[in-house]
Structure 1
Amino acid sequence: MVDRVSEKLLASLVSHGFDVCYKPGALREDVLNIVENYDVLIFRGRLRIDKEIIDRGVNLKVLARYGIGLDNVDIEYAIRKGIAVVNAPSASVISVAELTIALMLIVYRKLYDAIDDVKHGKWLKGKYIGRELYGKKLGIIGFGKIGSRVAYYAKSFGMNIMAYDIRDVSSEISRVGGIQVDLDKLLSEADVVSIHVPLTPLTWHMINDKTLSLMQNESILINTSRGEVIDTNALLNHIDRLGGVALDVLEQEPPRDENLWKLIKHPKVVVTPHIGAETVEAMDRIAEEIVKNILEAVKWL
């Protein structure tokens, strides 16, 4: 069965004259066996595009990531081999930002437990005394497309914005009445910390025992970026004193590690299965943006 984004993507590619082979669920070995036959390889986040796959793709001209993140691609090696690497960096911005705000509300208003109790026949009015977003300090780690969109939405809730980024983004932050701060200040002062960074050697486990120890008791942590940004074991050590944690991404997906399951089952934790971009609108935009960027890349090759 062809999913919505694949159907749009396939139709668009065919309309532009591409001869398309669609292989959903292809394993790494499958890709290694067939990649030499293609000029363009479109892939999702679970397939690691490393030197072995790139070397097997003797006719490859374009590597196209079916989404935003490129942490599963050896970009430097691909470029050295003359292969263009494209993605859809803007397609899911709105969807991920909206999910981020939704997760804040779920944690602050204890919505998960309240809804689950009602579904199980319990009407426990008065049990779920939550908190408002209004007036709270929101610390955004990574003020790119998604982080800045989250700030825009959060400002409409009356939140006070702080942001940390390795770039100077003070002018962009000032547009939502916020300020740029260093990471230590953000973690120690924010009521809500929301992570929006790519996975790089600098961001791997940037949320660790040391940085978590800076967070206030009862503050909440949201991650809709990459699971490996957070050290799971360190988070388990701090979870009891935090107000709550909401994660759309995990260090291991699907989770198999015992400590990951311990984290997922913790009463203060809400986990969604990496659905940040899973909206009809984002899927349509992903298809459109990928095709546009493939065509642009092919034009210059």
Structure 2
Amino acid sequence: MDIKKVLVADAVDSACVELLRKYNIEVDCKYKLTEEQLSEEIKAYDALIVRSDTKVTPKVIQAGQRLKVIGRAGAGVDNIDVTAATNRKVVVLNTPGGNAISACELTCALITNLARNVVPASVSLKAGKWDRKLYAGHELYGKTLAIIGLGRIGKEVALRMQAWGMKTIGYDPIVSAEEAKEFNVEYLSYEQIWPKADYITVHTPLIPATRNLINAKVLNSCKNNVKIINVARGGIINESDLLDALKSGKCGGAGIDVYEQEPPTNEVTLQLIAHEKVVATPHLGASTSEAQVRVAVEVSEQLLALTGKCKEYTSTNGVLNRNVLNDSN
């Protein structure tokens, strides 16, 4: 694939640009472009690199007369119209492993925070109170953690929380029971999982099958005081249903890093964030210095692999519409 010019439309670590330029690929960085501006700019480029801010719409893709590749320095591609890209024979790729450890560690931090009421206890103490009894928590040892999505992040979460003595159960439609058993996760159906779980964490993409996966029906099937964690994608958990479960006491707490709308202005989301039993963070799953370097390097390595001119980089494991890539070879 002939890639001579790359447009970087969102701020990525400089390692991305440096690696591409090392192999004589021209790179321009132009941030915060409107759809109109990006549609005009993209005409001169063979590849586009984005993170979360830039929306790659059908209009942008159609305007990319030379466009061959869209790369996202991150795990999801919610901001890229993959169908429109596929129809235009444009390869779409992401960096699925780049932020796995960072997202995993934030998940584990939210679980432990919920168990010991770290955030509200800290706020209370800073306000001059001494509420030891009010913020008594519970041990994670012996509790059951349900992991929905047993890919890179889900597996890493399982291994770490097993070290705390948690029992891990889970489900993933593309991971077998035998594969899950290799990292000590008991593979169960959704119907079997919900009543067993003390904690539920989701690590799936946001697709039609996972939208509102955790809803009122599911929450009513769970144990009383179940804890919910989402460091994956807003929309996997129905925010209104979760808020109702928190208010009723059915749900004992939630750790939420992602929202249906970001930044959130919806009243339900704002109430959820403000709820006393919620530990809320502003989409920090991949916000570590290590992850930012990793995804930046990984997206540039895949672009170089697509050129076929670099023996050092050959992996294109992040390509989502591989049929387009196969057709171009």
Q: Report the TM-score range of the alignment, normalised by the length of the smaller protein.
A: over 0.9
How far apart are residue 20 of structure 1 and its match?
1.5
One-letter identity of the residue aligned with 1:16:
Y
Alignment partner, residue 224 of structure 1: 231
Show CA shifts across 1:188-228 (max 9, x none). 21000000000111111111222222121111000011011
Partners in 2 of 1:296 and 1:246 — Cα distance?
38
- Does the residue aligned with 1:243 lie in a helix, a strand or coil? strand
Between the two proteins, what is the percent identity of the paired residues? 36
Q: Which moved more, 1:120-129 or 1:251-260?
A: 120-129
Pair 222,254 (structure 1): closer, same or farther in 2 beyond 3 Å: same
* Cα distance change on mapping 1:168 and 1:287 into 2, 3 Å: closer
Is 1:246 equivalent to 2:264 in the alignment? no
Matched, 1:204 2:218: no
| Pair 120,27 (structure 1): closer, same or farther in 2 beyond 3 Å | farther
Q: Is the 8 A contact 1:35 1:56 kept in 2?
A: yes
The DSSP-based 3-state class of the residue aligned with 2:193 is: helix
Report the 3-state secondary structure (helix = DSSP H, G, I; strand = E; otherwise coil) of the residue aligned with 2:129: coil
2:271 is equivalent to residue 293 of structure 1: no
| Residue in structure 1 matched with residue 264 of structure 2 by the alignment | 255
CA contact (8 A) 1:71 1:200 kept: no
Residue among 45, 50, 56 paired with 1:49:
56
Q: Letter of the aligned partner of 2:145 in structure 1?
A: L
| Residue ranges of structure 2 left out of the alignment (5+ in a row) | 1-9, 309-324
Q: Does the 8 A contact of 1:193 with 1:220 survive in 2?
A: yes
Match of 2:88 in 1: 81
Please say which of residues 291-300 and 211-220 is displaced more in the overlay: 291-300
CA distance in 1, matches of 2:31, 2:115: 38
Q: Distance in 2 between matches of 1:122 and 1:156?
A: 33
Paired with 1:119 and 1:28, the residues of 2 have a C-alpha distance of 45
Amino acid at match of 1:288: V
Pairing 1:271–2:266 present: no
- Structure 2 CA distance for aligned equivalents of residues 237 and 112 of structure 1: 21
Measure how far apart 1:156 and its partner are: 0.9
Distance 1:257 1:158, change over 3 A: same
- How many angstroms apart in 2 are the aligned matches of 1:52 and 1:291? 25
Alignment check: 8 A CA contact 1:107 1:245 kept? yes
2:28 is aligned to: 21
- How far did 1:4 drift? 8.4
| Deviates most, 50-59 or 171-180 | 171-180
3-state secondary structure, aligned to 2:98: coil
Separation (CA, whole Å) in 2 of partners of 1:64 and 1:291: 8
Aligned counterparts of 1:228 and 1:127: Cα–Cα separation in 2: 32
In 2, Cα distance between equivalents of 1:153 and 1:225: 18
Give the conservation status (yes or no) of the 8 Å contact 1:143–1:169.
no
Q: What stretches of structure 1 move > 6 A for 4+ residues in a row?
A: none
SS at match of 1:275: coil
SS at match of 1:213: helix
TM-score, reference length from structure 1? 0.94
